[in-house]
Chains A and B, each alone.
Chain A
């Protein structure tokens, strides 16, 4: 099997602190989506930084030089620069021409629906520091995608995004996978890992192990297709939502499926399809 990137027996420790990673090996193949599950402080971010070549392992090897996109867990939008200008700068830094950078930045901002939400009436596009956490995360996602990466490394990409952006991110993951890119993302929720990843691993005590089927999948999910539902509706038990015109596709936990269906009908929506995901 060809691999885009391999880690072999990677260890990482900061100063005299106990080791964060203790002999982690991982192969990322083209067209595969890998999810790393783990709790807070388990070392997911460190592992992803090493994968992205942004941190050096204390020992062990990292083999492979794919074109990379990296999204941190908390995109720090503290600048006074506007999102489009910031993305154009990063595009140029990565080797794109000014025209290409601006075109790609505009495409991703539009695709992630930041154009409408990051403007302030007549003042035009607002500065990065004025963006909400979710919109800042969208800018982070846009910069990770600017260079059409062969390997996309994302640290808890679903956190901070609203439900509709979850759908767009799911589409992007599926598109990149179809185009043969490798994707590695971290998560702490098993249901999201099971929904999007081909391979799920659990990082615990510095060691990476394949996650058990139950652990990875979490709750059973149902796919509910509605027509005429409010796209902004966010019922309890909702995992993700994709809206296409009048049609809304919800992913809901089985424990909440009946309640979601009842509420949808009460709100005037029409149920077109319900199936186990």
Chain B
């Protein structure tokens, strides 16, 4: 898996496809963290919500880097189809970590004196959102949807459901709690567990369907 991760990072690095979503995310942070007197949790809610979009965008881009024949060549070395999908998801998750740290660190710098427990809960919230974003992106990616236009349309629809629909209990309850400036540590732990489970299901289903179609 380490070798596959190194390969994924090399592909992403050479392609520079990580730059547009990363720049958009940093610009969003610059717009969010402007008022030192504003409450921190609602700002974390917007930042974490933006990380769902970032993770989804980067996952779609990462899985688009290899065309189907090149993916077969990689598979002939890795042997297990699920290892290919898992390595892409892990690479995106690792790429989300510095952005989550940047967001939390930015909040600490702007507001000053933010308790460590609040920063930790904020990190958990960002982690849950990164997991949810990757889980949403996998079935919308080139592995299952061959046309980029359909990928964008399905990913936007799925992101809208996950972020805005109250009945989808992945990160929406967490973001709502944070938006109300309420205590959200418990919600964040629950959201991490739910999003990680959703990502595991997404990985398994996407990998199985892609293998079946090959």
Complex interface: stretch among A18-26, A77-85, A179-187: A77-85
Q: Is B75 an interface residue (CB 8 A)?
A: yes
List the B residue with the shortest CB-CB distance to A67.
B79
Q: Is B117 an interface residue (CB 8 A)?
A: no
| A147: chain B residues within 8 A (beta carbon) | 77
Q: Is A76 an interface residue (CB 8 A)?
A: yes
B11/A90 in contact, CB under 8 A = no
Complex interface: stretch among A48-56, A114-122, A260-268: A48-56
CB distance from B95 to the nearest CB of A (A): 18
B76/A89 in contact, CB under 8 A = no
B214/A55 in contact, CB under 8 A = yes
| B76: chain A residues within 8 A (beta carbon) | 52-54, 68-70, 144
Q: Report how many residues on chain B are interfacial, defined by Cβ distance under 8 Å.
A: 24
Q: Is B106 an interface residue (CB 8 A)?
A: no
Contact of B72 among A69, A72, A80, A93 (CB under 8 A): A72
Q: Is A74 an interface residue (CB 8 A)?
A: yes
Known contacts A70-B73, A74-B69; is-contact A89 B214 (Cβ 8 Å): no
| B201: chain A residues within 8 A (beta carbon) | none
A79/B11 in contact, CB under 8 A = yes
In the assembled complex, the Cα of A54 lies from the Cα of B79 at a distance in Å of: 8
Tell which of B67, B213, B214 has the most Cβ of chain A within 10 Å: B214
List the A residue with the shortest CB-CB distance to B72.
A54
Q: Is A143 an interface residue (CB 8 A)?
A: yes
| B167: chain A residues within 8 A (beta carbon) | none
CB distance from A206 to the nearest CB of B (A): 18
In the assembled complex, the Cα of A42 lies from the Cα of B51 at a distance in Å of: 47
A54/B214 in contact, CB under 8 A = yes
Within A160-201, the residues touching B (CB, 8 Å) are none
In the assembled complex, the Cα of A90 lies from the Cα of B76 at a distance in Å of: 9
Within A72-113, the residues touching B (CB, 8 Å) are 72, 74-76, 78-81, 85, 89-94
Contact of A90 among B73, B79, B211 (CB under 8 A): B73
What's the dominant secondary structure at chain A's contact region?
loop
Known contacts A89-B3, A147-B77; is-contact A79 B14 (Cβ 8 Å): yes
Contact with B along A231-259 (1 / 0, CB 8 A): 00000000000000000000000000000
In the assembled complex, the Cα of A146 lies from the Cα of B14 at a distance in Å of: 23
Known contacts A93-B7, A93-B78, A147-B77; is-contact A81 B14 (Cβ 8 Å): yes
Size bracket, chain A contacts: 20 to 34
CB distance from A179 to the nearest CB of B (A): 20
In the assembled complex, the Cα of A123 lies from the Cα of B57 at a distance in Å of: 34
Q: Is A140 an interface residue (CB 8 A)?
A: yes
Q: Is B6 an interface residue (CB 8 A)?
A: yes
Known contacts A56-B211, A56-B214, A74-B69; is-contact A90 B74 (Cβ 8 Å): yes
Q: Is B10 an interface residue (CB 8 A)?
A: yes
In the assembled complex, the Cα of A40 lies from the Cα of B69 at a distance in Å of: 17
In the assembled complex, the Cα of A147 lies from the Cα of B77 at a distance in Å of: 9
Within B83-131, the residues touching A (CB, 8 Å) are none
CB distance from A108 to the nearest CB of B (A): 14
Tell which of B6, B67, B69, B214 has the most Cβ of chain A within 10 Å: B69
B7/A89 in contact, CB under 8 A = yes
In the assembled complex, the Cα of A49 lies from the Cα of B76 at a distance in Å of: 10
A81/B3 in contact, CB under 8 A = no
B11/A49 in contact, CB under 8 A = no
Contact with A along B1-31 (1 / 0, CB 8 A): 0011011001100110000000000000000
In the assembled complex, the Cα of A91 lies from the Cα of B6 at a distance in Å of: 12
Q: Is B147 an interface residue (CB 8 A)?
A: no
Known contacts A78-B70, A92-B3; is-contact A54 B75 (Cβ 8 Å): yes
In the assembled complex, the Cα of A56 lies from the Cα of B15 at a distance in Å of: 31
In the assembled complex, the Cα of A69 lies from the Cα of B72 at a distance in Å of: 11
In the assembled complex, the Cα of A76 lies from the Cα of B70 at a distance in Å of: 6
| A85: chain B residues within 8 A (beta carbon) | 10
A72/B10 in contact, CB under 8 A = no
Given contacts A53-B76, A54-B214, A81-B11, 16 further A-B contacts (CB under 8 A): A14-B213, A49-B72, A56-B211, A72-B69, A74-B69, A75-B69, A75-B73, A76-B67, A76-B70, A78-B67, A81-B10, A85-B10, A93-B4, A93-B7, A94-B78, A146-B77
A-B pairs with beta carbons under 8 Å apart, 6 shown: A76-B73, A79-B11, A79-B70, A92-B6, A93-B4, A94-B78
- A-side residues, CB < 8 A to B, are 14, 49, 52-56, 68-70, 72, 74-76, 78-81, 85, 89-94, 140, 143-144, 146-147
